[in-house]
Chain A
Amino acid sequence: MTGRRLERNSGETRKGGGFRKTQPEKRATEEEEAKAFEELLGEPLRGWDERIEPSVPHLLELEELVTRHREESSRKLWRDLFMLWLLGILVISGMILLYRWNVIAFAVLQALAAAGAVLFLAVSSRKNREAKRRWTT
């Protein structure tokens, strides 16, 4: 059996040519890393953790926060819904008027709106990908 075939059959290698770790190896690495963390940072972190004294808000303040935030969220939701309906009515009315006035102008506007939407999606997805790549590499 050739080396390459052996690799393929055992499933122990990956594209880059390096050996993929088996479960016990992974576990051993994990334990080794946990031990290294404990030696390097375990004691200092625990010590610091014990010394941190957060000023916890009073229960009544938190109750007020929950109530207030719920009210605000609900108000915002209704406002957004109202704006959406208003905008929808305006857009649909405008479109109907335009359609009655000139069908070609209506079609051109539809095509422009579709092109704008595609462009917007492409740019925002590229921005997201860029941000993600910068962060993950």
Chain B
Amino acid sequence: MSTIPGIVAINTFREAVRDRVLYNLIFFALMMISASILVGEISIGISRLVIINLGLSAISIFGLIMAIFIGVGLVSKEIEKRTLYTLLSKPVRRWEFLVGKFGGLLLTLTVNTALMTLGLAAALFYVSRSFLRADVSILVAVYFILLELALVTALALFFSCFSSPMLSTLFTLGIYVAGVFSKDIRDIGILTLNPVMQGATRVLYYVLPNFHNFNAITAAAHGESIPVSLIWQNTAYAALYVALVLIAASAVFSGRNLK
């Protein structure tokens, strides 16, 4: 088993920390503190709900921004700085480099998410002075967000293997939005009553990454339990999709002329 992806991942993580990526946590902390204090003053009966909704949404949005904007630069930055050539002149295969980069960013996102979750827990405790048994759903929702971020990171990395950071950002964002609306795309096809259209939209529904699967924020906010079957199904779905995208990225990247 090669240790190279692990080494690349650790270095990618260190680089992200050096680039002060985790500074977004300060903004997150300030936002949670303000929300905890303010919401009780300006609304009725939703202090707890707002903390959970705002916390989980912020974890997701901050994570998405990081996954997309850092993800699209993972390869291009190495090419620009010419560090990739040094790296590839050593016994490092291109797929190992890609998997390492993916792992590094995922590690960064995991650390970031874990710290934000702690902040969310602190704010929740401040507002309600206790935790409920149903709050376990919040952890499941955070886990789903992480799965979503893994998928977005893989997509950003894939696009960055063959296009500029700007285009990669647009492509990744486009796929993300299409993935959120995949069910609607299928439903539009059904509405047309055209068999070809119905077939096409159905194919799109299954081919596009279904980001709606990972949305458990509302359920977590209302303390609803999330079925264990959904947890493993989502885990398997994300793992399969990430594997698919990374394999495709490796195939594209291995054929890329870096001269």
Whether A and B are associated in the same complex: the answer reads: no
The chain A residues found within 8 Å of chain B, CB to CB, are none
